């Protein structure tokens, strides 16, 4: 890539108060600001007339709230702000240099003489790199969890069949990087939607040493620095800034089925094939809460048979409302796939072009034309993406979502929303907005439209049912997208043992990036069919995550339009084991729901790195543990492991150091002391390794689909009343106590010898 770095020099103060300072450089003037906003939260900006602030930042600027807690002093070319244990220093003897100390120890420092840099149309920000420490975040990046010593593209793409250890970029654009050490943590978050890169210690220079560099293709810099003693502290500050995770409906914690094949069938009709699938669920006694209906329902009935969003193939679905109603009778909700583009043969394409709902190509002065996925695997046609800054485009989408909801569809699946537009100079409409800095998508950002698509889908559902929690599932995401979309997943993964293993790392980084109702397509979306052993292992692991879905498109060289599917009963010899695992998933829903409620209220990720809360244990800072591939916490009670090789029945797990120890949830149910590595026997036809923190407990419910209290909108005979709760306790040997809670109840239990005493906690 071309490099045109320019480092502004000779800064002088143009404005200063107790909690902020504004500087301007000599020559071609650049403005630099630093301000303390709240305890642990600071903001910097680096701009000029040619490098403006992000025109649509992914979070609004917060109001300062210091309540007299900050003290400051200025001396020459330096300003120091002290704020509740954090000392922030800005030095402008050369280019501005920001350093942060926590309890007297430096945890962040800009790179001397090369901190804030203009680079052609964009900027670069260089900071010191701490070797042998943990870096996490960036939304969704290839395994392992630790992002140190790696380089990343800050963009998104439709990476069908990606390599979970090598492919970059994936589907999320969230420029949040957290550096965690035993002494403290610092997060850096950029609000721009512009493309860029992040070198996290991967670049080394004999002169400049070890550094990190965030490069942004367009515009000026707006960053927030967040300081805390733990990752949890930083994530909480980040949530205060960008918004807390939405709370998903309770039904979405159940088994979500899917498969491209069903909606692509002409004979038998897709609607009949889907009803047959529902009948088989009942036959095999497997509960199911929702079905992700792929875009085959939108494929045109006549040539060219392309996917036309917000239309119905009336051969495959002669009666859409009747079909959805029949699925509701089976207790299954529909989550409908929608894609933010139209092919040129879409019946409403001329209307959308005429109304300015698509982007403009400045070379032709007409609607921008790109190659877009049209029908079968790898097939494409010409068309255009919806410009969500266009009033016509936003409203057309809004009305389309409302029409689906009126048909009975309860969830909207925002798919293929990476906005892989080929030219930075394509123009946005910017209806209702004004910008003196231009309207090209390079500056405003492709991912801005992912966010606005989420808003349009969300708001349309809310308008129709303001008292019902909306469910929008999104493949691509920004920080702002998750204010509208309640759930996401890791896209089109591949069937492999490594794919199952690496998925854990993606989940953990998604969690610290506030994508906390997140999961993977169990068994793999693309690739070969899983073996019985791999499928069962993956289901055993998947039921212990926030989102449990089996959805795939197994490409077939003989037919690239339909593909194969994964069904829970595809291997009769293990169907009873899969049934038991899925029923265990339903038992866990009260516990999972309580974790998501905690996420919604406190930004505490349900799925956590095993060092979370155990930062004083030096073993969690070793490379094997920081990789985050083989085990994780589900809440603060269940330690989930896995077996990631065929034919292996033993897992190696680290048990973080604590006073109480751990209990093996599988036979022989032995106790283990914390602070050690252990070998856990886990035959594949029984269970993955699961341990519980001694002194904890979980609330469980029925092992089938239930209807939440007050949910009278869904009177299916397959959904029974949610009127049962039990408590699974994990006591110490001999005497001890434990506590557990769900959203409805908190229970304390005391055990003395063979006697136990249960009481409800206030």
Please determine, for residue 584, whether its predicted confidence score (pLDDT) is greater than 90: yes
Please determine, for residue 57, whether its predicted confidence score (pLDDT) is greater than 80: yes
Residue 435's pLDDT is what?
A: 76
Q: pLDDT band at 738, cuts 50/70/90?
A: low
Nearest to 536 by CA among 566, 504, 507: 566
Residue 253's pLDDT is what?
A: 98
pLDDT in tens, 376-409: 888 899 999 999 999 999 999 999 999 999 999 9
Structure letter (DSSP) for residue 572: G
The two beta strands, 366-367 and 360-361, are antiparallel
Report the share of the chain in percent with pLDDT over 70: 96
Q: Are 107 and 195 in contact (CB under 8 A)?
A: no
Residue 340's pLDDT is what?
A: 99
Residue 476's pLDDT is what?
A: 99
Average pLDDT over residues 536-540: 99
Q: Coil, helix or strand for 460? A: helix
Element (H, E) at 281: helix 270-283
Q: pLDDT band at 47, cuts 50/70/90?
A: very high
pLDDT in tens, 246-301: 999 999 999 999 999 999 999 999 999 999 999 999 999 999 999 999 999 999 99
Residue 761's pLDDT is what?
A: 61
Nearest to 62 by CA among 304, 226, 194: 226
Q: How far apart are CA 609 and CA 511, in angstroms?
A: 9
pLDDT in tens, 593-626: 999 999 999 999 999 999 999 999 999 999 999 9
Please determine, for residue 714, whether its predicted confidence score (pLDDT) is greater than 80: no
Q: If you write DSSP's letter for every residue of 183-215 in order, what string do you get?
A: TEEEEEEE---S-EEEEEEEEEETTTEEEEEEE
Please determine, for residue 756, whether its predicted confidence score (pLDDT) is greater than 60: no
Spell out the domains of the chain, with CATH numbers in brackets: 5-138+174-242 (2.60.40.1760), 250-602 (3.20.20.80), 607-760 (2.60.40.1180)
Q: How far apart are CA 703 and CA 470, in angstroms?
A: 25
Please determine, for residue 741, whether its predicted confidence score (pLDDT) is greater than 90: no
Residue 758's pLDDT is what?
A: 60
Which stretches within 407-523 are classed as H helix?
441-444, 447-464, 497-512
Q: How far apart are CA 169 and CA 163, in angstroms?
A: 11
Report the share of the chain in percent with pLDDT over 90: 90
Which range is least confidently modeled, 151-155, 350-354, 743-747? 743-747
Please determine, for residue 762, whether its predicted confidence score (pLDDT) is greater than 60: no
The two beta strands, 471-474 and 487-489, are parallel
Average pLDDT over residues 514-521: 99
Q: pLDDT band at 358, cuts 50/70/90?
A: very high
The neighbouring-strand residues paired with 293 are 336
Residue 556's pLDDT is what?
A: 77
pLDDT in tens, 75-98: 999 999 999 999 999 999 999 999
With a CB cutoff of 8 Å and minimum separation 6, the contacts of 668 are none
The neighbouring-strand residues paired with 23 are 13, 32
pLDDT in tens, 550-565: 999 998 777 778 889 9
Please determine, for residue 749, whether its predicted confidence score (pLDDT) is greater than 70: no
The per-residue b/e assignment along 295-314, b for 16 or more CB within 10 angstroms, e otherwise, is bbbbbbeeeebbbbbbbbbe
pLDDT in tens, 93-137: 999 999 999 999 999 999 999 999 999 999 999 999 999 999 999
CB neighbours of residue 710 within 10 Å: 6
Q: Which tokens is 469 given?
A: 């929690």
pLDDT in tens, 468-504: 999 999 999 999 999 999 999 999 999 999 999 999 9
pLDDT in tens, 664-676: 999 999 999 999 9
Strand order in 341-343's β-sheet?
Answer: 341-343, 380-385, 370-373
Element (H, E) at 175: none
pLDDT in tens, 22-34: 999 999 999 999 9
Strand order in 256-258's β-sheet?
Answer: 518-519, 487-489, 471-474, 411-414, 333-338, 290-293, 256-258, 549-550
Q: pLDDT band at 708, cuts 50/70/90?
A: confident
Q: Which residue has the tokens 């309860």?
A: 410
Residue 748's pLDDT is what?
A: 66
Alpha carbon 387 to its chain centroid, in Å, reads 23
Residue 743's pLDDT is what?
A: 64
Look over the chain and give the mean of its residue pLDDT values, rounded to a whole number. Answer: 95
pLDDT in tens, 205-223: 999 999 999 999 999 999 9
Residue 747's pLDDT is what?
A: 66
């Amino acid at each position: 890539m071309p490099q045109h770095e320019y480092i502004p020099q000779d800064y002088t103060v143009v404005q200063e108060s107790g909690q902020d300072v504004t500087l301007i450089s000599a020559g071609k003037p650049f403005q630099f600001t630093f301000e303390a906003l709240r305890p642990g939260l600071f903001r910097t900006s680096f701009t000029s007339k040619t490098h403006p602030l992000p025109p649509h930042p992914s979070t609004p600027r917060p109001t300062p709230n210091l309540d007299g807690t900050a003290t400051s002093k200025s001396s020459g070319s330096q300003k120091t702000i002290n704020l509740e244990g954090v000392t922030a220093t800005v030095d402008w003897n050369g280019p501005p240099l920001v350093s942060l100390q926590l309890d007297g120890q430096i945890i962040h420092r800009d790179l001397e003489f090369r901190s804030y840099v203009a680079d052609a149309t964009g900027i670069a920000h260089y900071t010191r790199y701490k070797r042998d420490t943990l870096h996490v975040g960036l939304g969704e990046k290839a395994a392992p969890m630790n992002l140190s010593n790696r380089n990343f593209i800050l963009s998104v793409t439709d990476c069908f069949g990606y390599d979970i250890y090598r492919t970059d970029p994936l589907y999320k654009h969230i420029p949040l990087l957290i550096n965690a050490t035993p002494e403290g943590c610092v997060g850096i978050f950029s609000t721009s939607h512009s493309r860029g890169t992040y070198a996290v210690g991967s670049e080394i220079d004999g002169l400049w040493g070890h550094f990190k560099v965030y490069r942004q293709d367009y515009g000026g810099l707006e960053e927030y620095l967040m300081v805390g003693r733990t990752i949890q502290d930083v994530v909480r500050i980040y949530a205060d800034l960008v918004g807390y995770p939405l709370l998903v409906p309770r039904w979405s914690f159940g088994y979500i089925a899917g498969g491209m094949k069903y909606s692509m069938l002409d004979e038998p009709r897709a609607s009949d094939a889907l009803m047959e699938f529902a009948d088989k669920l009942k036959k095999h006694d497997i509960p199911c809460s929702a079905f992700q209906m792929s875009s085959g329902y939108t494929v045109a009935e006549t040539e060219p048979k392309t996917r036309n969003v917000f239309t119905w193939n009336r051969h495959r679905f002669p009666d859409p409302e009747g079909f959805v109603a029949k699925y509701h009778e089976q207790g299954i909700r529909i989550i409908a796939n929608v894609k933010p583009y139209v092919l040129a043969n879409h019946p409403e394409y001329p209307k959308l072009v005429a109304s300015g709902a698509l982007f403009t190509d400045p070379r032709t002065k007409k609607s921008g034309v790109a190659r877009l996925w049209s029908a079968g695997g790898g097939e494409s046609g010409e068309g255009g993406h919806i410009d969500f800054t266009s009033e016509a485009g936003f409203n057309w989408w809004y009305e389309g979502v409302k029409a689906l909801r009126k048909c009975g569809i309860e969830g909207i699946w925002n798919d293929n929303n990476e906005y892989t537009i080929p030219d930075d100079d394509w123009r946005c409409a910017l209806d209702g907005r004004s910008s003196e800095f231009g309207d090209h998508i390079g500056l405003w950002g492709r991912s801005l439209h992912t966010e606005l698509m989420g808003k349009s889908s969300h708001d349309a559902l809310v308008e129709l049912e303001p008292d019902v929690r909306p469910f929008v599932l999104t493949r691509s995401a920004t920080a702002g997208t998750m204010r509208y979309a309640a759930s996401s997943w890791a896209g089109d993964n591949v069937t492999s043992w490594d794919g199952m293993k690496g998925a854990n790392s993606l989940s953990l980084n998604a969690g610290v990036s506030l994508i906390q109702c997140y999961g993977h397509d169990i068994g793999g979306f693309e690739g070969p069919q899983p073996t019985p052993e791999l499928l069962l292992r993956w289901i055993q692991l998947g039921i212990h995550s926030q989102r449990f879905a089996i959805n795939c498109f197994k490409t077939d060289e003989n037919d690239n339009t339909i593909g194969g599917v994964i069904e829970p009963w595809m291997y009769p010899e293990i169907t009873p084991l899969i049934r038991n695992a899925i029923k265990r998933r339903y038992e866990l829903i009260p516990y999972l729901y309580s974790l998501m409620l905690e996420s919604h209220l406190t930004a505490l990720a349900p799925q956590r790195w095993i060092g979370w809360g155990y930062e004083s244990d030096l073993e969690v800072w070793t490379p094997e543990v920081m990789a985050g591939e083989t085990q994780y916490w589900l809440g603060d009670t269940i330690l989930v492991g896995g077996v990631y090789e065929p034919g292996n029945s033993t897992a190696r797990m680290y048990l973080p150091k604590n006073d109480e120890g751990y209990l093996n949830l599988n036979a022989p149910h032995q106790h283990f002391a914390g602070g050690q590595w252990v070998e856990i026997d886990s035959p594949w036809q029984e269970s993955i390794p699961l341990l519980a923190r001694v002194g904890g407990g979980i609330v469980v419910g029925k092992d089938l689909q239930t209807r939440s209290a007050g949910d009278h909108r869904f009177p299916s005979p397959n959904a029974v009343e949610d009127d049962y709760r039990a408590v699974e306790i994990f006591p110490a040997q001999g005497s001890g106590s434990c506590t557990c809670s769900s959203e409805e109840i908190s229970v304390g239990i005391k055990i003395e010898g063979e006697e136990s005493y249960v009481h409800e906690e206030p």
